Amino acid sequence: MAITTNDLKNGMTLELPEGLFSVVGFQHVKPGKGGAFVRTTLRNVRTGAVVDRTFRAAEKVEQARLDKREMQYLYRDGDDFVFMDSSSYEQLHVPSSVLGDAAPYLTEGRSAVLSMHGEEIVGTELPAAVELGVTDTEPGFQGDRVSGARKPATLETGLVIQVPLFVNVGDRLKVDTRTGEYLTRA
């Protein structure tokens, strides 16, 4: 669907000759002399590279049609993650390289929203925070309440994060999926 650059919004996905790009930021500029233009910051959906691009005002660009499907993560098969479509019960094998930063936050039974362009997966959306169990960390001691002191902890998915000293093996933690930081004990 063709839209003009005047209709751009943050988060919109554009299909440009160079590939699929998500709009990170935009600014309409009307200089005193000459025609107006739109300065944009775009992120390549496939590679994550960020580029700045300028368009003429009212220039036509193609908006990409993304199909967002809610999928449930079932199990890991070698290097692939196996998902099941919640509506059609169809199973989909997804390489870990396609999931990118979302892979360490997936546990069996957890849902994720996969953005698809045709048959290609171009993005993964997770909840803002997930609950994961601690499988390995140094033992905590009574009195380890020093403000700001941290130690590494390995979670059930293999992700290693910094946690407060009082966290022990077996504790369930809430972890922010956007930053990878410890939030609280669950």
Domains of the chain are: 2-63 (2.30.30.30), 67-125 (2.40.50.140), 129-185 (2.40.50.140)
Distance CA 126, CA 157 (A): 15
Query: What is the pLDDT, as a whole number, of residue 144?
Result: 56
Q: What is the mean pLDDT of each run of 10 residues along the chain (186 residues)?
A: 81 85 87 87 84 87 86 88 87 83 85 85 84 85 67 88 85 87 84
Sort strands 129-137 and 172-176 into parallel, antiparallel or unpaired. Answer: antiparallel
Query: What is the pLDDT, as a whole number, of residue 146?
Result: 62
Distance CA 136, CA 152 (A): 9
3-state secondary structure of 104: helix
Query: What is the pLDDT, as a whole number, of residue 118?
Result: 81
Eight-class DSSP state of 64? P
